[in-house]
Structure 1
Amino acid sequence: MRSIARGLGLGSAAVALTALTAVAWPGTAGAAPAGTESLYAPSALVLSVTAGPDADTGTVLRAVTLVCAPRPGGTHPNPLTACRELRAVGSQLDPLAAPAPDAVCTREWDPMTVTADGVWQGRRLHYTYTFANPCGLRNTTGALFGF
């Protein structure tokens, strides 16, 4: 079984996706809900907000799951809007982390880092962005990191 998983390039991404789908669809042990016709893995991400300039060494303040396929769900407070935004920008998440045009923040250095890890439309996605301070994070134009 291990050699098959390696040959298909599944490795740890498959384990992470299985964990995500189990969270998204409780009681299914990682299986997609009945009636799913897609042969591709669901679009599912783990989003986090970390205090510090680096997600690897900072303190994770909060994290949510976001599932966009076959239907919006997860623990994100607004999965429908977040999935709609993701579909609009594809895997280029910088526009969703951009500050609102009318945002006014101080220039203090108190970094906050956001991450998105998982699978988006069948492809592995890893995204990290560091804001100068919490004000920058609060004033993003997108709902993706608004949790």
Structure 2
Amino acid sequence: MRNTLTMAGTFAAAAALLLTGTAAASAAQSQPVGTTSLYAPSALVLTVSKGEDAATATVERAVTLSCAPKPTGSHPSPVSACAELRSADGEFNQLVEPTSQRMCTRQWDPVMVTVGGVWQGKHVNWSITFGNACEMNGRIAEGTVFNF
């Protein structure tokens, strides 16, 4: 009887170790792959399109911009653009002047600027429509983010 209890205790201890090991292995396997970065992701696609609706506008230019862990992408000035975005805390409205000081015609030929992707780990879907290219250039002329 004594050997039976000892063997039962041994089996119970072995089963507990096995289950603990399986749970630990399962937890390790359930961790997302590639999430050990110290940087929140910042990867954006910026476009300039003809039209007033993002669903039907014709994309004329597009660039990528990634700011973490280092500025990269097809944007012509990724270092400056990322610095500008950081100083604005990712608020794209702060990068556009409220009015243009440039003399432009009142021709309605809408141009849309869009930004989509992730900024410091948060989903971004931003757009603005200008009356024409002259107005757009007058309102975004100072910065580098939208100059591509």
Q: TM-score, normalised by structure 1?
A: 0.70
Report the alpha carbon displacement of residue 98 of structure 1 after superposing the two structures with TM.
1.9
1:37-48 matches, within 5 Å, as 37-38=37-38, 40=40, 42-48=41-47
Give the superposed CA RMSD: 2.5
Q: TM-score, normalised by structure 2?
A: 0.69
Distance 1:130 1:52 in 2: 8
Question: Which residue of structure 2 lines up, in the alignment, with residue 25 of structure 1?
Answer: none
Deviations 1:86-137 (A, max 9, x none): 1111232112122675322221111000100011001111100001100122
Distance 1:79 1:46 in 2: 12
Question: Which residue of structure 2 lines up, in the alignment, with residue 85 of structure 1?
Answer: 84
1:100/1:144 CA distance change after superposition, 3 Å: farther
Looking at secondary structure, tell me which structure has more helix per residue: 2
Question: Which residue of structure 1 lines up, in the alignment, with residue 143 of structure 2?
Answer: 142
Distance 1:136 1:85 in 2: 21
1:39/1:97 CA distance change after superposition, 3 Å: closer
Contact 2:39/2:69, CA 8 A, preserved across alignment: no
Contact 2:39/2:68, CA 8 A, preserved across alignment: no
Gaps of 5+ in 2: 1-33
Distance 2:72 2:39 in 1: 19
